[in-house]
Structure 1
Amino acid sequence: MQETANDHLFLFLSLLLFLIVILAFSLRQVFSGKDQLPLGRTGFPIVGETLEFMSMGRKGTPEKFFKERMAKYSPKVFKTSLLAEKTVVFCGASGNKFLFSNENKLVTSWWPRSVEKIFPSSTQTSTFEESLKMRNLLPQFLKPEALQKYVGTMDIVARSHLDTHWNNHKKVTVFPLAKNYTFTLACRLFLSVDNPTQIAKFSDPFNLLVAGILSVPVNIPGTKFNKAINATKTIRKEMIRIIRQRTADLGAGIVILGNDILSHMLITTDENGQFMKEMDIADKIIGLLIGGHDTTSAAITFILKYLAELPKVYDKVLQEVEELAIEKNGGDLLNWEDLKKMKYCWNVVNEVLRMAPPLQGNFREALTDFTYAGFSIPKGWKLYWNANTTHKNPKYFSEPEKFEPSRFEGKGPIPFTYVPFGGGPRMCPGKEYARLEILVFMYNIVRRFKWEKVILDEKIVVDPMPMMANGLPIRLYPH
């Protein structure tokens, strides 16, 4: 009896072992084949790895999130979960090239749910469709030929801003003043609004709105997301008032037709001959103001940070703008040709945008199932690219933590490695606009001041774009 029992037990264990081997082999076949998802982990339910992602940003090391996972899973692609979405992160120049080259083929633009909730479309169309409409409206205002006429206005606004907020001050905090400059300029050029009191009505709500766009979408009083929703309502009311006043002015012939983006939107019809609704116009203008608000302000702040830390770079910038000033007659305004001569200044800006890109990355969505780098990417999954996988990668930029403007001389970086404005069909349409407003500001401020940091070891935080923890307070020394 004992031998029979032992035989049965041996037979059972042998069968169990056989089944385990078969199962293991089958699983290996599945996970080594074309159906294998990218390696990685999705973290906790719903939250995923979002908190860790944000935490590393607030500590000033957003690239650490990607470096750790690229080293552990794959330098090309890994899976995670961000903003309650299953996400695949595409890394390196090859990842950027793939996403940028397959726009509207394999992938499409995607915005987090928080954006949809803050900006619910009154026409019930998708964010993608609204984005296409906006891009069709923008070219005549943001293409280089059209921007040439804006340079003089930018110079006027920059001079006025420095006269009001910088002159006769021994110490200033850069970031809020940079936001004042870029926002005032956007209101002037997009809306023809230059009344400081009227602009001030937008300023504080816009700060709350921008802070909440990519926050955790929890609509509870006191959260960033809740504040952003309430701020949007406030901004919309003021925007609707401006739209109605402009409509009345156009009807009375007070405003020249099409002289700014708002006027153009009011007189433009769609393919069915229908004019845009007030709320649609308001949301699109708000989106434009956001695009020209914190991103360029952050870039200007970091430009001043590095010029304070690197006196040799500052001296070369000063030399270039002074040589340009000598060519100008007295107080003549800057023009398009002047800015084209600021080659070293623009190399400095590019290096700042490499070191601290305001646009850290962006999302796409898979339109269909496809494979990439040997892994299967399911339809509907969210895809994310991040500038730091190339900008801070020694494979593409030697000594990536060293500030070196000469990287952008000649042919510049390898394609798809330098992506502060994105790439492909969805490259930031305001790239040239940002270039002009930054160079105009650099020209004016460097000619007036030298400066030094008040907080020598001030930390950098990324939430969701890089900024100085204390806004970069500086001590001014007028020339």
Structure 2
Amino acid sequence: SYSNFVFVCTGSLGFPLIGQSISLLRALRSNTDYQWYQDRIKKYGPVSKMSVFGSPTVLMAGPASNHFVFSNQDLIFTQTKAINVLIGCSIMTLSGDELKQVRSALQGYLSPEMVTKYVWKMDEEVRRHIDLNWVGHKTIKVAPLAKRLTFNIISSVMFGQGAAPFREALAIDFEKVVRAALSIPVNIPFTKFNKGLSASRRIRKLLRQIAHEREAAFQQGYCSSADDFFTYMLALRSEGKHSLTVEDIVDNAILLLIAGYETSSVLITFLIRQLANEPDILGKITDEQEEIARNKGPNKPLTWNDVSRMKYTWKVAMETLRTVPALLGSFRTATKDIEYRGYHIPKGWQVFSSHLLMKDSAEINTEIAYHFLI
């Protein structure tokens, strides 16, 4: 019970379960979350208690607080209750040797050596998307198109052509899961969380089917570990490098989808806004891209070497991520009672650090802000 704890930090937990979830979600939808954090910090200070997404939480702001959150061994990485239920047994819920095995497998799959093998798939998806949704259109809505492009690229790389016939239905269900990830975890009919759970079950059923098909094809030698995520994970399992079941692999596939989908689509959206508002930066990026294109033959697919030459484009993307973080923030859970500068953080409570507030630090801005804007 919330009333069993005595707090040093100020703030309010609001109504049980709901807390400040509704007001925060409203701010996120209206793109006023930065002001939401600032108002709360002005009212309660840089460390305050609240309740979001069904969990009592301590909001921490400022460089010192962020260092404490990310370096304290008694604070373990966690996610909202909704995400844990929707995703299942992923790398975020594992521990010990099993965590090490899965982390090593995922790092291998996402390594530059593996990514180089997927560049042509990404290039193919981008060309198809631009021809279909951008060319010949006087105006477009960037955000939804960026989401669809990102989803198509990730699903193509992770699942190969096996998911192509189901991509449209998969995309619709996946959007429901993403919306449910930041919701109050109450399974009542017609709520976002309820719809997300139903969509998650359908996604799991489809991905389980694809995984079993890949498993059979791999055992018969019809595909290799470089073809898609499922085959890669199954190949590692056959070599004794992890012991995940097909169900576990599906759960981690959903996690990768969510992680890549949100961050990439948000980055694309705000990067395009940045280019629209900064003609000088747009001009430099255009020059860089045209130089790369001139060194290639017409209609030749993009290569990893081409991507590695996009130095200025990459800097602009990183600066966009710094000023407009793609993630809500980072949640940690206290494994025991913790004290921070006189503030009491009870065992089992979440600690939340917003990436958006990091840009307020003058010393960090001085060190990190890229000089290409000059």
The TM-score with structure 1 as length reference comes to 0.69
Equivalent in 37, 51, 55 of residue 81 of structure 1:
51
Among candidates 252, 265, 269, match of residue 284 of structure 1: 252
**Change over 3 Å in CA distance of 1:96–1:133 after alignment to 2:** farther
Letter in 2 for 1:79: K
Structure 1's consecutive aligned runs of 4 or more residues displaced over 6 angstroms after TM superposition are: 270-274
**How many residues align structurally?**
365
Deviation by residue 1:376-429 (Cα, 9 ceiling, x = unmatched):
32222111010122124556448xxxxxxx92249x9xxxxxxxxxxxxxxxxx
Match in the other structure for 2:3: none
1:286 positional shift: 1.5
The aligned counterpart of 1:72 is 43
Q: CA RMSD in A?
A: 2.9
Higher helix share: 2
Q: 1:194 and 1:346, CA in 2 relative to 1: closer, same or farther beyond 3 A?
A: farther
Aligned match of 1:407: 369
Amino acid at match of 1:91: A
- Aligned to 1:38, which of 2, 5, 9? 9
Q: Is 1:320 equivalent to 2:288 in the alignment?
A: yes
Q: Secondary structure at the match of 1:149?
A: coil
CA deviation digits over 1:159-218, x for unaligned, max 9? Answer: 222223322333332223222222222122212227643322311111111111121112
Measure how far apart 1:109 and its partner are. Answer: 1.4
Aligned mates of 1:407, 1:296 — CA distance in 2: 21
Is the aligned partner of 1:213 residue 2:181? Answer: yes
In the TM superposition, what are the counterparts of 1:121-160 in structure 2 within 5 Å? 121=89, 127-129=93-95, 134-160=102-128
Contact kept in structure 2, 1:268 and 1:275, CA below 8 Å:
no
Report the Cα distance in structure 1 between the residues aligned to 2:270 and 2:129, rounded to whole angstroms: 19
Does the 8 A contact of 2:186 with 2:193 survive in 1?
yes
Separation in structure 2 between the aligned mates of residue 379 and residue 113 of structure 1, nearest angstrom: 16
Q: Which moved more, 1:105-114 or 1:204-213?
A: 105-114
Deviations along 1:342-380, one digit per CA (max 9) or x if unpaired, are 222222212322332220202100122222223232222
Q: Take 2:334 and 2:163, find their aligned partners in 1: how far apart are those partners?
A: 45
Alpha-carbon distance in 2 for matches of 1:95, 1:230: 38
Q: 1:46 to 1:221 in 2, by over 3 A?
A: closer
1:63 equivalent in structure 2: 34
In structure 2, C-alpha distance between the alignment counterparts of 1:100 and 1:303, rounded to whole Å: 27
**1:72/1:271 CA distance change after superposition, 3 Å:** farther
**2:197 and 2:140 mapped to 1: Cα distance?**
31
Q: Which amino acid aligns with 1:209?
A: V
Question: Which secondary structure state, in structure 1, belongs to the residue aligned with residue 116 of structure 2?
Answer: helix
Matches within 5 A, 1:334-353: 334-353=302-321
CA contact (8 A) 1:355 1:392 kept: no
Structure 1 partner of 2:66 = 96
1:54 matched to 2:25:
yes
Aligned-pair CA distance for 1:36: 5.7
- In the TM superposition, residue 273 of structure 1 has moved relative to its aligned partner by 8.6
Amino acid at match of 2:27: M
Deviations 1:63-111 (A, max 9, x none): 2222123233333x22222223221112122222222222xx2110122
Structure 2 residue identity aligned to 1:388: L
2 CA distance for matches of 1:211 and 1:52? 16
Does 2:232 align with 1:264?
A: yes
Q: Could you say what secondary structure the match of 1:243 adopts?
A: helix
Which residues in structure 2 correspond to 1:164-313 (within 5 Å)? 164-193=132-161, 196-269=164-237, 275-313=243-281
Q: State the Cα distance separating 1:50 from its structure 2 match.
A: 2.0
Q: Is the 8 A contact 1:193 1:199 kept in 2?
A: no
User: Take 1:145 and 1:93, find their aligned partners in 2: how far apart are those partners?
Assistant: 34
Letter in 1 for 2:334: A
SS at match of 1:269: helix
CA contact (8 A) 2:122 2:153 kept: yes
Q: How much has 1:274 moved relative to structure 2?
A: 7.8
Shift of 1:255: 0.7
Select between 58-67 and 383-392 the one with higher mean Cα deviation. 58-67
Deviation at 1:301, TM superposition (A): 1.5
Aligned letter for 1:260?
Answer: D
CA 1:289/1:58 → structure 2, altered by over 3 Å: closer, same or farther? closer
Q: Which moved more, 1:385-394 or 1:329-338?
A: 329-338
TM-score (norm: length of structure 2):
0.87
Q: CA deviation at 1:60?
A: 2.0
